[in-house]
Amino acid sequence: MKIGIGNDHSAVDMKNEVVDFLVEQGYEVVNYGTDSYESCNYPVYGEKVANAVAQGNVDLGILICGTGVGISLAANKVKGIRAVVCSEPYSARLSREHNNTNILAFGARVVGIELAKMIITEWLNAEFQGGRHQTRVDMIMDIEERKCK
């Protein structure tokens, strides 16, 4: 599985640790984030990863900024993206099982690296359950179709 990762200046160190963790787990990782500590704009990286996911260049995406909020908001503006911000593993797992999320975001200033690894593991190991959840995901995507014309 190929995972795209993006980050702003506040999350360079965490991104590097997450990349190492993912590679150790056998994932291929494509870095769309910055490697500089110089202040930059998180929407750039949220959009890069979201486009890569939407276009099928990577299977899933992970985004990290200070809180995870801003970068996920940018990603969610790309058609077909369902990005979720999670600060604990339970919501991460359920977001995949119930909402079929394709991008996970979290904050380098909110969670430590060990918690980030737990969140990522739960998210990646979860599978979309379909059924009644598919109906709801379809409804969400229908909103996108109607409002983005």
Residues 32 and 52 sit within 8 Å (Cβ to Cβ) = yes
C-alpha of 124 from chain center: 11
Dihedral angle of Cα 101, 92, 47, 146, to the nearest 10 degrees: 40
Q: Is 40 a catalytic residue?
A: no
Catalytic residue (choose from 9, 86, 98, 148): 98
Q: Annotated catalytic, 98?
A: yes
What is the C-alpha to C-alpha distance for residues 48 and 148, in angstroms, rounded to an integer?
19
List 9, 40, 65, 148, catalytic entry: 65
Give dist(CA 27, CA 36) in Å, integer. Answer: 24
**Phi, psi (rounded to 5 degrees) for 104:** -110, 135
Instruction: Point out the residues that are catalytic.
Output: 65, 98
